[in-house]
């Protein structure tokens, strides 16, 4: 489904983090709807490198791009030489900046700031030189434990990841105020789920993780009190809608991207069992993240609706139902073959 009136055919588009979850979905959106667009994917593909918490430094995976016909470049956004080559080699019309150290449990503050904050400003300078509109991934983590509904201007980050995203938003505000001649839009994603997230491993959504537990015949494991742990879960297609609508002229600013409705982890497990036709119950485990955990998120999307003409299309029931065939495919082709 096309989400706005812009014709991206014959435009040149850069997607950083394009082998990741949201970036790869964007790449295929343009390929499907605007085959004459030149789409350049830049990603720091995964290697054996891990963070101190044991998680992979990069979640980019080639399988997210199987069938992609555009340009694929392996590179790190911290590498100024790569950015310089992109500046010389191409003339971008739009930049979708999805690359980041996105692991909220990572403790490497230096790497987080360098990658998420400093490299973003370098990329913003490239966008200004090219006259390319910038649409970048911010995060609901900027709010920390701020009360719901979370509203732009009421930030209280509880970890370095949330802090880094808030610093990106602050940099953007400075450039917007200066009037640099391009549109700059930050999208604060809430809990995104859907196809092409599987290779995020342990940081993939509980939707796919619970789904695979159920398919294995296991009772889904939820934290104690999961019926009272509420999050704003948004299906990937609505996130793509927000990115595309952010390309319209005069949209500069920071906007929440959620459904505006809080749902529980218990809801996820129950919907999955209904769709997968199982009745395995629920196994509750202690929550080890008490004190560093958001127990209620709900996006205030009033400005997103008004300024971006954003209309969430998927209730959780509809999103999970749409996702079920991919959850089953992944289980059969990726989980069972390990």
| Residues forming the active site | 161, 200
Distance CA(8)–CA(4), nearest Å, equals 10
Instruction: Give the distance from CA 101 to its chain's centroid.
Output: 11
User: Which residues sit opposite 185 in a β-bridge?
Assistant: 135, 253
Exposed e or buried b per residue across 252-275, where buried means at least 16 C-beta atoms within 10 angstroms of its C-beta:
bbbbbbbbbbbbbbbbbbebbbeb
Distance CA(204)–CA(64), nearest Å, equals 14
Output phi, psi for 231, to 5 deg: -135, 160
Which residues 6+ apart lie within 8 Å of 37 measured at CB? Answer: 8, 9, 10, 11, 12, 13, 30, 31
CA nearest neighbour of 18 among 59, 50, 48: 59
Which two structure tokens, joined as six digits, stand for 219? Answer: 């009772």
Give CA torsion, residues 177, 183, 189, 195, to 10 deg: -170
Output phi, psi for 304, to 5 deg: -65, -45
Q: Are strands 263-264 and 230-231 parallel, antiparallel or unpaired?
A: antiparallel
Q: Are strands 71-74 and 38-43 parallel, antiparallel or unpaired?
A: parallel
Which two structure tokens, joined as six digits, stand for 212? Answer: 């695979």
Q: Three-state DSSP class for 242?
A: helix
């Amino acid at each position: 489904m096309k989400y706005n009136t812009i014709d991206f055919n014959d435009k040149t588009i850069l997607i950083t983090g394009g082998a990741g979850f949201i970036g790869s979905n964007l790449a295929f959106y343009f390929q499907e709807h605007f085959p004459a667009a030149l789409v350049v994917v830049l990603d720091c593909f995964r290697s054996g490198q891990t963070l101190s918490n044991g998680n992979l430094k990069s979640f980019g995976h080639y399988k997210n791009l199987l069938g992609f016909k555009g340009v694929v470049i392996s590179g790190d956004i911290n590498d100024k030489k790569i950015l310089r080559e992109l500046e010389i080699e191409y003339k971008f019309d739009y930049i979708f900046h999805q690359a980041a150290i996105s692991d909220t449990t990572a403790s490497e503050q230096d790497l987080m700031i360098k990658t998420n904050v400093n490299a973003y400003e370098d990329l913003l300078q490239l966008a200004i030189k090219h006259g390319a509109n910038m649409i970048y991934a911010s995060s609901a983590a900027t709010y920390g434990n701020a009360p719901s509904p979370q509203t732009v201007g009421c930030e209280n980050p509880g970890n370095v990841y949330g802090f880094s995203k808030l610093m990106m938003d602050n940099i953007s505000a400075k450039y917007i105020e200066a009037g640099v001649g391009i549109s700059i839009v930050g999208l604060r994603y809430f809990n995104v789920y859907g196809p092409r997230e599987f290779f995020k491993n342990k940081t993939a959504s509980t939707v796919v993780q619970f789904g695979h537990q159920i398919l294995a015949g296991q009772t889904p494991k939820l934290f104690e009190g999961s019926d009272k742990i509420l999050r704003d879960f948004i299906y990937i297609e609505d996130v793509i809608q927000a990115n595309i609508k952010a390309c319209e002229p005069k949209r500069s600013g920071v906007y929440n991207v959620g459904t505006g409705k809080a749902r529980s982890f218990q809801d996820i497990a129950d919907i999955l069992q209904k769709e997968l036709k199982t009745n395995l119950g629920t196994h509750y485990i202690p929550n080890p993240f008490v004190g560093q955990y958001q127990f209620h998120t709900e996006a205030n999307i009033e400005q997103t609706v008004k300024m971006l003409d954003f209309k969430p299309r998927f209730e959780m029931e509809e999103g999970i139902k749409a996702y079920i065939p991919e959850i089953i495919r992944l289980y059969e082709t990726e989980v069972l073959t390990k």
